[in-house]
Amino acid sequence: MDNTQPQLNPTQPAAVPVATPAPVAPQTPVQPQSVVPPIPSQPVPTQTVTTQPSTLSMIENLATRPIMITITLPTNAYFLSGIRDFTLGLIKNMTEFSEQWAFRFQSVVDELCNNAIEYGSTPGQDIKITFISVPHQSIEIHIEDTGTGKNKVTAADLTRMLEEKRKPNYEFKGLRGRGLAKIVAEWSDELVFEDTEKGGIRVKIKKMLNDPKVQQDMAKYLESPNHLVLS
């Protein structure tokens, strides 16, 4: 993962608490014949300093904050090669998933977008793709269609269909139907179908970084002679 850190502001001082000085009792001068009344002692105002968040905590905050990127795409399979390239680059450069997983998410996004375009929307409309990367934790990908496709289905329909196809004895016949059950489901930890307010479907997948399979792949990735750890 490329943790591009914001630059430290060299002019910003670290917050330092200021001690409150103790009040000093006024000294009574030696009086000549005339008596000068002593100046009444004034309380010394307490100086308060508002502490600012340290620069280091700001950097840590940025490094752990989830990153969300949303892309709106016309319903045309023509654009999917660009989305695949974008997905590959994003996963490889902005997350800690390995190259193998970057290619897998490339397939996942392609399959979900295909379904959204083919079944979920009509030509001339848009689908929406959202990537949410939580550093050191997970990646989520949401694909949303408009619900204007030829055969309207609900989230419940899709759930039933997927559960049917995930059965061990299910036989895939024909050219289609493998994408969701065989590719998307296999390469996700969570798969959620939601009905949107506009009548479309939103498919959400999530993959955890701490999944044993991911960790195993990462270990192989780190063992690669091309992977240098610089300290």
Partner 1 sequence: MTQVNITIEDIPVTGQGIVAKLVKFQGQLDESNVDEKSKLIYQIIEQNPQNLYLLFDFEELEYMNSKSIGYLTDWYGKITQGNGKLAIAKTRSNILDILQVVGLTQLISCYPTLDEAKFALLRANSTTAPAEPTVSVSPVSPAVSPSSAPVQSSVTETPAPVAPSIAQTAGNEPPTIQQIKLE
Interacting residues with partner 1 (CB under 8 A): 68-74, 77-84, 88, 100, 103-104, 106-107, 110-111, 114, 117-118, 130, 142, 154-156, 158-159, 162-163, 172, 174-179, 182-183, 185-197, 202
At position 21, the amino acid (one-letter code) is P
Which of 136/166 has CB closer to partner 1? Answer: 166
Q: Nearer to partner 1 by C-beta: 9 or 151?
A: 151
Please check whether residue 113 is in contact with residue 141, taking contact to mean a CB–CB distance below 8 angstroms. no
Q: Looking up tokens 């994408």, which residue turns up?
A: 179
Closer CB to partner 1, 95 or 188, in the complex: 188
To the nearest whole angstrom, how small is the minimum distance from the Cβ of residue 212 to partner 1?
Answer: 12
Of 110, 144, 138, residue with least CA distance to 126? 144
CB of 7 to partner 1, least distance (A): 22
Considering the complex, what minimum distance in angstroms separates the CB of residue 110 from partner 1? 6
**What is the CA 209 to chain-centroid distance, rounded?**
12
Shortest reach from residue 183's CB to partner 1, in Å: 6
**Separation between Cα atoms, residue 210 and residue 13, nearest integer Å:** 38
Please name the residue that has the structure tokens 């044993």.
212
Q: Output 18 or 77, the one with its CB closest to partner 1.
A: 77
Query: How far is residue 1's CA from residue 94's CA, in Å, rounded to a whole number?
Result: 5
Compare residues 58 and 185 and give the one whose CB is closer to partner 1.
Answer: 185
Minimum distance, C-beta of residue 73 to partner 1, in the bound complex (Å): 5
Please give the C-alpha separations between residue 77 and each of 39, 73, 113, 201, in angstroms, as whole numbers.
88, 10, 8, 18
